[in-house]
Amino acid sequence: MAKIQMKTPIVEMDGDEMTRVLWQMIKDLLITPYIDLKTEYYDLGLPNRDATDDQVTLDAAKATERLGVAVKCATITPNAARVKEYNLKEMWKSPNGTIRAYLDGTVFRAPILAEGIRPFIPTWTKPITIARHAYGDIYKNTESFVPQGGKAELVVTDAEGNETRQLIHDFKKSAGVVQGVHNLDASIESFARCCFSFALDTKQDVWFAAKDTISKTYDHRFKDIFAEVFEKDYKADFEKAGISYNYTLIDDVVARAVRSDGGFIWACKNYDGDVMSDMVATAYGSLGMMTSVLVSPNNVYEFEAAHGTVTRHYYKYRNGESTSTNSIATLFAWTGALKKRAELDELSDLYDFAARLEKAALDTIASGIMTGDLARLSTLDNVQTVDSEGFLRAIAARL
């Protein structure tokens, strides 16, 4: 067959360890034999981030803004141990943090469901997509211990220097703790826009929840901004698309989610997203099946797997031992990026190929051929556990 042609390149961000190994295998076995692949390549592997003083990460973020679609491999976020292991000049920041800050995006995480792999909540037959607002609240807080006899006040000084003072608590009877948090209208609005555009893109309802009954100014602000943005810019398009936006209380949405069959976007405040994304990911099964896409308010997309570089498997691989690492989330990052590029460039054969590749991968699992993480969860009785490369070869054979 003639190779499928592309128009605009995709930004390709290479990464570290086991996922870097899978990255190359996916390209060699499943992509470049069929597609005349056009990418703008950035090596975000830790050695190259160190060599470029992390400039390569910012360059990749800028390229993503320019080209509109990126695919990223998992990368190491260095800690003290990594600084030693890689003999780094500095403890470079998380690449995902740098890219997200540059693009001002929201991360949407969704599981891939496969026949024969049963979620821990069996009614979840469709994916639940978690969108986490990644700014402010307790993640940018100021906190203090207050000794007994102390007093804590909230003081807001306006541009003219006028002070408003409110008592938080008088710690007469006991010592205690106090915490100051904030958020920004602009950030909340941008989060709302990301959620509503992603909902239109994927034809799913949006659920957003806070605790406005208790937090009448802070959480209420989130509720109001979501409502305003929706009314003004998205309501008509939602009606046309046959999807809905629903606001409720956080405890109510938790109960609804458990009773639901999935298939919606759950927009979460920062802390709720932190907690709920781990709950949802675990309930659906393996981290190897969790995808992640960063969407900016001006519709730039960066696709990746939600998991990390799978270090434990990499050390085995490096010793020449066999590994059974699940490449589905990384493969779906590639197909997600190819599909998005195909949509934007109106390339139906590219879109069709990416869809067939996804189907070949899911059919491979349904036929009983899978990696160890899935074999442990499978309800099939003909399970054949294969190694990292064997799994990709089985997908290639089916494709």
Task: In angstroms, give the least distance from the CB of 285 to ligand NAP.
Answer: 11
Kindly tell me which of 78 and 127 has the beta carbon lying closer to ligand NAP: 78
With CB under 5 to 8 Å by kind, the binding choice for 278 among ligand NAP, Mg ion, none is Mg ion
Instruction: Compare residues 137 and 189 and give the one whose CB is closer to Mg ion.
Output: 137
Q: Which is nearer to ligand NAP, 26 or 199 (CB)?
A: 26
CB 325 to ligand NAP: min, Å: 4
Residue nearest to ligand NAP (CB): 308
Please give the backbone phi and psi of residue 156, each rounded to the nearest 5 degrees, phi first: -115, 125
Query: Which one of ligand NAP, Mg ion, none interacts with residue 274, CB within 5 to 8 A by kind?
Result: Mg ion
Report the alpha-carbon angle 43-354-6, nearest 5: 65
Enumerate binding residues for ligand NAP (CB under 6 A): 74-77, 96, 287-288, 304, 307-312, 325-326, 373
State which residue has the least CB distance to Mg ion. Answer: 274
Q: Quick check: 116 and 366 in contact, CB under 8 A?
A: yes
Spell out a b/e string for 360-382, using b for 16 or more CB atoms within 10 Å of the CB, else e: bbbbbbebebbbbbbbebbebee
Cβ-based nearer residue to ligand NAP, 11 or 76: 76
Task: Answer with the entry of Mg ion, ligand NAP, none that 307 interacts with (C-beta below 5 to 8 A by kind).
Answer: ligand NAP
The residue behind tokens 């100014």 is 217
CB 22 to ligand NAP: min, Å: 8
DSSP-assigned letters across all residues of 215-263: STTHHHHHHHHHHHHIIIIIHHHHHHHT--EEEEEHHHHHHHHHHS---
The distance of closest approach from Cβ of residue 396 to ligand NAP in the complex, given in angstroms and rounded to an integer, is 18
What span, in angstroms and rounded, lies between the C-alpha atoms of 135 and 141? 11
Residues that bind Mg ion (CB under 5 A): 274, 278
Angle at which helix 17-26 crosses helix 328-345, to 10 degrees, equals 50
Cβ proximity to Mg ion: between 43 and 304 the closer is 304
Angstrom distance (rounded) from CA 176 to CA 13: 47
- Which of 105/225 has CB closer to ligand NAP? 105
Query: Residue 373: which of ligand NAP, Mg ion, none does it interact with, CB under 5 to 8 A by kind?
Result: ligand NAP
* Nearer to ligand NAP (CB atom), residue 161 or residue 320: 320
User: Rounded to the nearest 5°, which phi and psi values hold at 201?
Assistant: -65, -40
285 binds, among ligand NAP, Mg ion, none (CB under 5 to 8 A by kind): none
Among ligand NAP, Mg ion, none, what does residue 287 contact (CB within 5–8 Å per kind)? ligand NAP
Nearer to Mg ion, 40 or 274 (CB): 274
Provide the minimum distance between the beta carbon of 278 and Mg ion in the complex, in angstroms, as a whole number.
Answer: 4
Instruction: For the CB of residue 12, give the shortest distance to ligand NAP in the complex, in Å.
Output: 15
Report the distance separating Cα 242 and Cα 253, nearest Å: 21
Closest distance of CB 277 from Mg ion, Å: 6
CB 208 within 8 A of CB 195: yes
Q: Give least dist CB 98 to ligand NAP, A.
A: 11
Tell me the C-alpha distance between 131 and 273, whole Å.
7
Q: Which amino acid is at 191?
A: F
Q: Which residues contact 359 (CB under 8 A, 6 or more apart)?
A: none
What is the smallest separation between the CB atom of 372 and ligand NAP, expressed in angstroms? 7
Q: Which has the closest alpha carbon to 375: 114, 160, 167?
A: 114
Among ligand NAP, Mg ion, none, partner that 308 touches (CB below 5 to 8 angstroms by kind): ligand NAP
Please check whether residue 292 is in contact with residue 70, taking contact to mean a CB–CB distance below 8 angstroms. no
DSSP 61-82: HHHHHHHSEEEE-------HHH
Count CB-CB contacts under 10 A for residue 388.
22
Which residue number, 93 or 211, has a Cβ lying nearer to ligand NAP? 93
